[in-house]
Amino acid sequence: MAEQANIQPPGDGKPAPGEIGMQLANSPIAEEIHFFHNDVLLPIITLISLFVLALLIYVVWRFNEKANPVASRTTHHTLLEVAWTIIPVMILVVIAIPSFRLLTHQLVNPQPDVTVKVTANQWYWSYAYPKDQGGGFSFDSLLKPEDQIDPAKGDIWLLSVDNEAVVPVGKNVLIEVTASDVIHSFTVPAFGVRIDAVPGRLNTAWFRAERVGVYYGQCSKICGKDHAFMPIAVRVVSEKDYADWLAQAQKKFASVPAAGQFAEASPVRN
Ligand SMILES: [Cu+2]
């Protein structure tokens, strides 16, 4: 596999210093999440906050003790009460429509081109590539120790791992997620993926990366003392590089006893 130059801009695949927004989207779901947050929720939140602030300022100015020495004894106003019930309900309906549409897109897996089985362990990840898709191997992915971090190669302390998961660009990747011990959570912000890894249960999620590069994530469920030290690194490569990597990985991980029950891709469950 050709070594890729690190040409990713800040905030692409990893956090950037001083960043307050989200990492750049690299999947249709992440784009939809960003649209929902930036173009639907934020304007509504801003308008409501400004409206409430204006009401507070008006009340302070108009009804303070000096301006309004004799307080009104009004306790009910039917029209006002109906309005402040109906308008929030209508706002919630406006939010619910894109929200449920996004949930549906996230939760209904498309026909996968590549399936990767992800197993969470205290405190590392294991990836298995099914045999019928050119894999037939599995490997563990552990935090790269600080003394092996080489920034010139694009290594990032606390995010880089010894063995990255590799997926092809522009393909539907189905991930089947489980855990061997306690509950973990497989989260890669740039892909819009966050799915719990639960012992004895197989959860699925999907993404389709649109750009090559390395995309990082972290376990997102408190899972014990090294919870902060089990990062996720997914390298997105071209289709040719992916085929080359599969061939290399088959040899490299041949000695690792393949998790037999994970050797075949499971049927898609929606
Ligand atoms: Cu964990």
pLDDT tens-digit readout, 22-78: 999 999 999 999 999 999 999 999 999 999 999 999 999 999 999 999 999 989 999
pLDDT at 260: 46
Q: Where are the domains of the chain?
A: 28-107, 114-262
Domain covering 114-262 in this structure, CATH number: 2.60.40.420
pLDDT at 63: 93
Å from CA of 60 to ligand 1 middle: 49
Å from CA of 35 to ligand 1 middle: 29
Neighbouring CB atoms inside 10 A of 115's CB total 24
- Tokens standing for 62? 């108009």
Å from CA of 127 to ligand 1 middle: 14
- Tokens standing for 209? 């990366």
Rounded CA-CA distance 34/258 in Å is 38
Å from CA of 225 to ligand 1 middle: 9
Who surrounds ion ligand 1 at CB < 5 A? 184, 219, 223
Q: What is the pLDDT of the chain when averaged over all its residues? A: 92
- Tokens standing for 205? 């999620």
Single pTM value for the model: 0.86
> Contact at 8 Å (CB) between 234 and 164?
yes
Q: Lowest-pLDDT range, 2-6, 73-77, 129-133?
A: 2-6
The torsion defined by the Cα of 10, 168, 250 and 257, in degrees rounded to 10, comes to: 80
pLDDT tens-digit readout, 177-223: 999 999 999 999 999 999 999 999 999 999 999 999 999 999 999 99
State the pLDDT confidence band at 254, using cuts at 50, 70 and 90.
confident
State the pLDDT confidence band at 11, using cuts at 50, 70 and 90.
confident
Å from CA of 167 to ligand 1 middle: 22
